Structure 1
């Protein structure tokens, strides 16, 4: 069950101003992001642990040195993350090279701060300030460069997944079926035919949007309603839809066209193969600082028709790309019901 979005849209020239090139959507060390915080702490601790192996002769010696170094490294890392988070907008307006420079300088200052805490506590007699500053700056530079390379490496894969999804989701037969349904209604119910074509137009307009653009959950719900309204004309009473929506969850941000392919798969694998149709249920719920979205459908004979999983895999990749460790996508079959569960931060 995947989402369908067309890749890159050619930017319209806005004169001779190349300002968009400076816009660093490459603020990859967004320290306000949980995934970046976890990676930063883990990276620094691993580096400290390896560095403490050199002067250590025994395991207990290493554990003592590692604990002592962590007493400086952990506060320094958290101070770096906090400062980078607070300065996020300022950093985001700078060229990428300047971001690297500022991040490394900040790393050096924070490393000096961590060592200063140990010195004040009497755990260090002498502090090699220049070496501490250089180490902090170098670790910060490596961390930011690593996050940048990670983002650059994942972007082409996400883009390719979006292209594959567009072709797997807005399938030609869906377009033909919808147009045939509209044609059948033109003479008998022209108003309904017009509404159906308007819904189809909105779906394709959404599919051709900038793939980097995010939308609210309420917008995704509206698009899913339009899609199911189109399929309702085709399947009639065979398609039974239930909505259980929490207004408090509407502000959650999602990649565009994440929900629609899931409901399309529910129709394709639940309704199409069954003479009696299927029940499709879409629910949203706010749980603290997270939002849970579920798309559930009954399947014929409790098994349904196996798919290739292209849409579902694409949804997983795009949710991970946007929300990192805070976004989760799970799916499974139980008691004749297939369910996809998405959890994203609010």
Structure 2
């Protein structure tokens, strides 16, 4: 065939050149190959490549009421965890020939609300949201309009929305167990404010209390710090300077970890000599920092892939029931945990 690119080439033209019906070409373009021979698929593909045919996406979306586009609203794009999830979502959607629009809400409910409205106006086929929790009416509106919705990282009580997140209780329990086995009894957790709807912070503090009791360790309330990032260093300094300071600290995420490390630099404290340290989130510098940092790795790629898979299934009408999927963490043991022979 002679290669001929034309902006006016139609689906009927492709069908004629491939010697098939227009409906067969339509089925091919929509990925419905169940009753189509390989020979027919190859012929249509060859005609498309040789003619440079490109379907009218706008007209097609109006006809099938699909735009092959989803919206992803991230709570905080600065988290390594968030960027890894976005990459996994994009990869999964690319495989399904679905485009992704990413919006960063900065944990600001008003920004999130504006993004939801803007994406609805663009008629995206579905949403993946790290919800702030303060726009329940908007989440309910999406559900009422049958716009597929999946939450990542955070659960909103009383909303039957498919959710994928880390098993936060397992993550904290893994860290406390490592500390306990190393002989530590005075253990602290440092995290950002445990505000409503921020499931990871709430569950990690609750899980910390449960795990301390499970391993028979006495918990000190002043060993639980949940403060904004700009106060973490000050709070850690106060805790470590007080009577009977903790000998082990669990950082609630990568941003908190960095603040703790900066506090050590400013105060002259050393890890693990002054206190052992584990962080939830496996940061890129964990293996090169001295000493190397023991971390609890979140399966961010798997969370992103699962979130995209669930949303695409909902868009295709393959699932309707609510699922809350908790993904298992992985301990990466390095050098920042010191074994205590006896408690000081």
For normalisation by structure 2, the TM-score amounts to: 0.30
Q: Which has the higher contact order (CA 8 A, sep 6+)?
A: 1
Q: TM-score, normalised by structure 1?
A: 0.30
- Structure with more of its chain in helix, by fraction: 1
